[in-house]
């Protein structure tokens, strides 16, 4: 599944339960408020931008005893806060980490709270209100924590390197680092460039920073993501809180309408309906594709925490809009402008939201109810068949990196992605780690409604009940939902009698459908492009144009093809 939810590798399978709010509502209510005021009126901070768009804003207060801050990811409306206690020699002693529900009010309590205690060669992790059983992770002494994309934590690396003598051009210091979001341990090489710059080599990305004599970060850039980092003094508390733009680009042959979709459960889904201009056909009715995002709190564009400029559904809507096909893309419940609760929802709940969207579309006079289709990525590729199996009136389904095996098998596989390669550890140590990972998955499943449903779900029986035309797309280098699962899914669809199944595998394309020769999630940040390749967009558009009977555009309008 996609990055950023309960499926992170190694120990994060269990640890993310508290941070994702996957526990019960009562457990979330028991989570204590942060012990300090984490967002004063103004403080120093970092603004992360991609071009003219603000990607994230981080407020930071630092003292000799430590630092505290808050990271706001604008696309997901996601807020993360932390307090870090330092030893006298500058080593990290404790990290307290908090996460709020997407779109939570400023005075809301955090839905998750984890404490990381760095004790010699061990990291001890505990969760608030008993949400997470204590976990222990072996570390090298002096290991530094890292949260992507926090530059307060990156600054701790540059400060450490300065203390270790990285003050002369070309001097390099290798720092042991643990990613608190995934549990992955690595070495980050910090190299001085002159007296006012440093380069941090994460192995899959180079971070170039301007620093002062103490290692304080003044600014920088991450070339692989076209990401610019600017340090701002007295950064206003509400900086970067505005909503991203979902408008149609200038000159686009389609319009973009902000819409509100009611649901039977009472929450409202807010999104964007892109509609081709000058639509032809019966009363101007157009075909519509409903997008369904992967796991984790995602807005209508399918943005993923930590991956700047990745907006796959916006790209798909733009491509289809230019081919005469409308697209409805929605903020998930409890995310962005949508109301409702994300944390306690399961994939079946999200399927209900898709059904509500289809019902709403069928009430619109400008929509052709006979030409509605679904497009789901990752978990969305699991949700779309749930809906299609019960709605034979759909005109088609597009599945991108859709799971094809039981959820528990995927969880076990993904939890091992961060394991050292065979032979890198003694057999006894490796067996011990595998046992610990299996127990961590068991613990996470017990504590999370989403994981319980996902672990128990087998997509194959559902696929056998799907009778509508289906396009299955897969990246050949996907290591999160492996290519063989596409074969399994296609076999299940055909076994149920579906004769309109098309499968296509794209070489050197990863789980996010980005060009990537390795597919390793740890390399996503370093990819030169976060845009879907033209061949992927073209395959989607060509199949949907045929399936939804959209002919050549005449005078700027798409002409429906009559059967």
pLDDT bin (cut points 50, 70, 90) of residue 184 is confident
The pair of structure tokens assigned to 143 is: 């290991």
Is residue 130 over pLDDT 90? Answer: no
Q: Tell which wins on pLDDT, 539 or 106.
A: 539
3-state secondary structure of 546: helix
Helix locations, 132-245, DSSP H? 151-163
- State the Cα torsion 375-376-382-386 to the nearest 10°: -40
Q: Tell which wins on pLDDT, 194 or 291.
A: 291
pLDDT tens for 278-323 read 765 445 799 999 999 998 888 899 987 667 678 999 999 999 999 9
Location of each CATH 3.40.50.1820 domain in the chain: 270-405+458-551
The pair of structure tokens assigned to 521 is: 């999630």
Q: Tell which wins on pLDDT, 75 or 323.
A: 323
pLDDT tens for 362-391 read 999 999 999 999 999 999 999 999 999 999
Cα Rg of the chain (Å, integer):
24
Percent of the chain surpassing pLDDT 70? 84
Token pair 């994460």 is at which residue?
Answer: 202
pLDDT bin (cut points 50, 70, 90) of residue 185 is confident
Round to whole Å and give the CA distance between 461 and 194: 62
pLDDT bin (cut points 50, 70, 90) of residue 271 is very high
DSSP secondary structure string, 222-255?
EGGGTEEEEEEEEEETTTT-SPPP-PPPTT-SEE
Round to whole Å and give the CA distance between 560 and 553: 9
Going 22 to 28 to 31 to 33, the CA torsion angle's sign is positive
Round to whole Å and give the CA distance between 471 and 458: 19
pLDDT bin (cut points 50, 70, 90) of residue 177 is very high
The pair of structure tokens assigned to 180 is: 């608190």
pLDDT bin (cut points 50, 70, 90) of residue 205 is confident
Is residue 334 over pLDDT 70? Answer: yes
State the chain's mean pLDDT as an integer: 84
Is residue 24 over pLDDT 70? Answer: no
Round to whole Å and give the CA distance between 92 and 71: 19
CATH code matching the domain that covers 270-405+458-551, chosen among 3.40.50.10420, 3.20.190.10, 3.40.50.1820, 2.102.10.10? 3.40.50.1820
Instruction: Please name the residues in contact with 444: beta carbons below 8 A apart, sequence gap of 6 or more.
Output: 6, 13, 14, 16, 17, 22, 411, 451
């Amino acid at each position: 599944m996609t990055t950023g939810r309960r499926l992170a590798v190694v120990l994060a399978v269990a640890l993310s339960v508290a941070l994702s709010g996957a526990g019960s509502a009562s457990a979330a209510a028991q989570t204590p408020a942060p012990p300090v005021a984490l967002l004063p009126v103004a403080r120093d901070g970092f603004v992360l931008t991609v071009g003219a768009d603000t990607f994230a804003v981080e407020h930071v207060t630092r003292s000799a005893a430590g630092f505290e801050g808050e990271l706001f990811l604008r696309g997901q409306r996601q807020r993360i806060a932390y307090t870090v206690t330092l030893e006298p020699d500058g080593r990290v002693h404790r990290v307290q980490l908090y996460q709020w529900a997407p779109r939570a009010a400023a005075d809301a309590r955090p839905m998750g709270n984890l404490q990381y205690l760095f004790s010699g060669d061990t990291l001890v992790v505990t969760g608030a209100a008993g949400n997470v059983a204590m976990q222990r992770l072996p570390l090298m002494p002096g290991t530094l924590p890292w949260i992507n994309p926090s530059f307060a934590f990156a600054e701790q690396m540059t400060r450490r390197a300065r203390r270790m003598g990285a003050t002369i051009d070309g001097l390099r210091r290798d720092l042991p680092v643990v990613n608190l979001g995934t549990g992955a341990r690595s070495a980050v090489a910090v190299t001085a460039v002159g007296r006012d710059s440093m380069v941090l080599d994460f192995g899959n990305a180079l971070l170039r920073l301007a620093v002062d004599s103490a290692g304080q970060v003044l600014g920088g850039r991450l070339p692989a993501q076209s990401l610019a980092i600017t340090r701002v003094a007295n950064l206003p508390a509400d900086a970067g809180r505005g909503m991203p733009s979902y408008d149609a680009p200038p000159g686009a042959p389609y319009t973009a309408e902000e819409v509100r979709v009611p649901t039977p459960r009472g929450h409202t889904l807010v999104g964007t309906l892109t509609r081709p201009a000058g639509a032809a056909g019966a009363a101007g009715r157009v075909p519509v594709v409903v997008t369904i995002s992967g796991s984790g709190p995602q807005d209508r564009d399918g943005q993923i925490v930590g991956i700047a400029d990745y907006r796959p559904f916006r790209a798909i809507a733009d491509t289809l809009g230019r081919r005469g096909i409308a697209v409805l893309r929605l903020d998930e419940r409890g995310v962005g402008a949508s109301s409702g609760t994300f944390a306690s929802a399961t994939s079946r709940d999200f399927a209900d939201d898709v059904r509500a969207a289809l019902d709403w579309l069928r009430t619109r006079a400008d929509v052709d109810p006979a030409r509605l289709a679904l497009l789901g990525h990752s978990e969305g590729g699991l949700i779309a068949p749930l809906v299609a199996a019960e709605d034979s009136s759909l005109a088609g389904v597009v599945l991108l990196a859709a799971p094809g095996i039981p959820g528990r098998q995927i969880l076990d596989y993904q939890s091992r992605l961060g394991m050292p390669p065979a032979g890198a550890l003694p057999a006894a140590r490796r067996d011990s780690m595998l046992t610990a990972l299996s127990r961590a998955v068991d613990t996470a499943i017990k504590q999370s409604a989403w994981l319980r449903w996902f672990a128990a779900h087998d997509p194959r029986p559902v696929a056998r009940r799907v009778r509508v035309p289906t396009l299955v797309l897969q990246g050949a280098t996907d290591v999160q939902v492996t290519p063989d699962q596409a074969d399994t899914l296609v076999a299940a669809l055909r076994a149920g009698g579906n004769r309109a199944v098309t499968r296509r595998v794209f070489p050197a394309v990863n789980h996010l459908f980005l060009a990537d020769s390795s597919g390793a999630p740890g390399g996503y940040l370093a990819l030169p492009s976060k845009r879907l390749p033209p061949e992927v967009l073209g395959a989607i558009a060509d199949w949907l144009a045929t399936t939804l009977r959209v002919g050549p555009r005449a005078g700027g309008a798409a002409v429906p093809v009559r059967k």
